[in-house]
A and B are shown apart, each in its own frame.
Chain A
C-alpha cells in the first residue's frame, strides 16, 4: 500500500522493485528464438549470394585476363587449370557453406585467387623463358 507515500519517488520505486511482476514467458523466448533463426537464415542466404557473386566475378576476371594477355600456352593452361579448380571450389563451397573457416577460408578467399594466378603467371613466364633459352641453344 503506497497511499500517502506515493508522491515520494523513492518509496514508489522501492515498492515497484519489491513487487515486480514475473513476466517470464516460454512463448516469448520461443518467439525470440524463432525470429533469430529466421534472421540467421536470411543472413546466410545473403552471405551465400555474396560469395557466389564474388567468385563468379573473380573467375570471370581471371578468364578475361587470360584471354587478353595470352603470354603463352603454358600460362593459359595453368591459368585455366587454376580457374577451373578454383571455380569448382568456389561455387560448390558458396552453395554448400555459409562461412569459410581456417585453411579453407584462406584457400578460397577473394585475395588468394589473384595472388595464385599471379604466381602461376610468373612461373609460366619463367618456364617459357627457360624453354626458349634451351631451344635457342639447340640442346
Chain B
C-alpha cells in the first residue's frame, strides 16, 4: 500500500487524480468525524466543510512541504475552513441582529437536552457547542485525535502556551456542562 507521501507525489508530479481519491478515502473518516464534532454534529454542514477541505488540499497540494504529516496539514486546512465558515456566519448574523444566533444556541441547547438518549458522539458534539471555536478545536484534537500540543499549535497557528490554556479552559467548561447535565433529570440515564 502506498504511503500518503507517495500518493501526494503521484498527484503532484503525474497529475494522478486516482491517487488523490485514495487519499480522500483514507482520510475522510477522521476528517468528517472531527468536523461533525466541531459543528455540533451537523452532518450536512460537516460534509460540506469536509468537501471544501479536500478541494483546498487538492489545489494546494504542490505547496505541501511534507514537514508534518498529511493528516496534520489536512486538519490545519479544515480548521481554517471551519473558522472561515463561522466568521461568515457571524457576519450574516450581525446583519440580521443576531436572530439566527439565538436560534442556533437555542437549538444546540435543546438538542443537547433532548438527545441524551441518542449516541455518545452526538451528545459530545452538542456539549462541545458550549465551548468557543478555539477551545472546541483544541480539546477535540488533544483529547480525541490525541494530537500533541505542538501539532495543535501548528494546526491552529497559535502559540504553544495558548494551546495549553485553550485545552485547560475547554476541559473545565465541558466538565461544568457535563456535571450540570448529570445533576439534571437525566441523572440516571446512560449516554453510551
> Interface residues, chain A, CB within 8 Å of chain B?
1-4, 6-10, 12-13, 15-17, 19-26, 28-29, 31-33, 35-37, 39
Contacts and interface: CB of A to CB of B under 8 A. Distances in A.
Given A8-B175, A28-B32, A33-B20, A39 B181 contact: no
Nearest to A38: B55
B191 A6 contact: yes
A17 B140 CA distance: 10
Interface of B: 17, 20-21, 24-25, 28-29, 32-33, 36, 47, 50-51, 54-55, 58-59, 120-121, 124, 139, 143-144, 146, 171, 174-175, 178-179, 181-182, 189-192
A7 B123 CA distance: 12
A24 B182 CA distance: 33
Contacts of A20: 33, 121
A13 B143 contact: yes
Contacts of A12: 120, 124, 178
Contacts of B189: 3
Contacts of A26: 25
A2 B124 CA distance: 12
A4 B182 CA distance: 8
A50 B58 CA distance: 22
Given A6-B181, A22-B29, A39 B55 contact: yes
A12 B121 CA distance: 9
Contacts of B171: 9
B64 to A, nearest CB: 16
Contacts of A3: 189-192
A24 B121 contact: no
Per CB-CB distance, the 4 closest pairs between chain A and chain B, nearest first, are A13-B143, A2-B192, A7-B178, A7-B179
Contact of A24 (B28, B120, B178): B28
Contacts of A1: 190, 192
B29 to A, nearest CB: 5
Contacts of A16: 120-121, 124, 144
Contacts of B33: 20-21, 23
B55 A8 contact: no
A15 B120 contact: yes
A29 B21 contact: yes
A78 B29 CA distance: 62
A69 to B, nearest CB: 42
B143 to A, nearest CB: 4
B178 A29 contact: no
Nearest to B52: A35
